[in-house]
Amino acid sequence: MQNVAILLISVASGLITYLASNALKRGPVIASAIITLSGGLLLPHFFPGYGGTIAAAAACASYAGMISLENALNIFEMGGISLMCGILFIAANDAYIGIGGRLGTIAAISCFAWLGFKKIFVGFDTRRKT
């Protein structure tokens, strides 16, 4: 049940951060801070057994949600990045506990993996034309 919660919270956090940053024009730092603060305050309260873990997953996905519009063109791409972030969070959940930068590294790997996936399978020219 914890892994399902991690995946759902990751996708929701990444999408909300992406939308707040780009559609609402709040900027990536403010959007991620709102999601991270909300997740840190609310999730441990509503999920006492594993709320801290899913709050960390929310923070991790919100870091991935800071990706620019040039690299994640739409909400569907951001959903894929967020899901990948949740999967990597689950895989690395017990690794490097207490080491700084783990969540940001997972977010960066998710974004880079998505960009690599697009280059390999979609084509090299995936950026918007201006």
CB 61 within 8 A of CB 85: yes
pLDDT single digits (tens) 58-103: 999 999 999 999 998 899 999 999 999 999 999 998 887 777 789 9
pTM of structure: 0.87
Q: Where are the domains of the chain?
A: 2-122
Angle at 116 between CA 33 and CA 64, to 5 degrees: 5
Average pLDDT, the chain: 90
Rounded Cα distance between 2 and 116, Å, is 29
What are φ and ψ of residue 42, in 5° steps? -90, -45
Res. 30: pLDDT tops 60:
yes
Res. 128: pLDDT tops 80:
no
Say how many C-beta atoms besides its own lie within 10 A of residue 35's C-beta: 25
